[in-house]
Homo-oligomer: A and B are copies of this chain.
Amino acid sequence: MKYSEYKKLLKDHTLRITDCRINVLEKFYNTTHALSFKNLEDALSDYDRVTLYRTLSSFIEKGLLHRIPSDDGYASYGLCREDCTEGGHHHDHVHFKCNVCGHIECLPAYHVPKVELPGYEVNEQNLIVSGVCKICRKSFNGE
């Protein structure tokens, strides 16, 4: 993806164009899995931790990223490829956590099946599946 495209992406989400934000965006677009804060910090160590935290917050607020909670307490962040805006996020895809490589993936092709809970009002559903991812499985079997 080209620099100007990242710029447009930021502009479209009413975010000022800065070095840090471009780099964070780039990192997300060049990674197939979701990123934890630690991942980001390691990859972009020339920016202050605080700045990275604030970048994540603003991206989430503006609908560029979504937070993916994990059972171990450490959240990851994934790109919103859907129509998320400042108004709110609209995700219903499955998240997968690999117990081998530790990566968390968004699976936009798989939607969370709607459960009916009589008496309750259901607003959102969040499904995290864990196991072994495609890549780790391959390197385990065939090599």
Binding site for B on A (CB under 8 A): 67, 69-73, 75, 94, 96, 99, 107, 110, 112-113, 115, 117, 119-134, 137
CB-CB nearest 4 A-B residue pairs: A123-B131, A121-B132, A119-B134, A69-B71
Contacts A117-B110, A134-B119 given: A125-B128 contact, CB under 8 Å?
yes
Residues of chain B within 8 A (CB-CB) of A117 are 94, 96, 107, 110, 129
Residue among B75, B96, B112, B132 making CB contact with A127, cutoff 8 Å? B112
Other contacts beyond A73-B73, A112-B127, A120-B134: 8, CB < 8 A = A99-B123, A115-B129, A121-B137, A122-B129, A124-B129, A124-B131, A125-B127, A126-B127
B122/A137 in contact, CB under 8 A = no
CA distance A71 to B69 in the complex (A): 5
Q: Which residue of B lies closest to A111 (CB)?
A: B115
Residues of B within 8 A of A128 (CB): 125-127
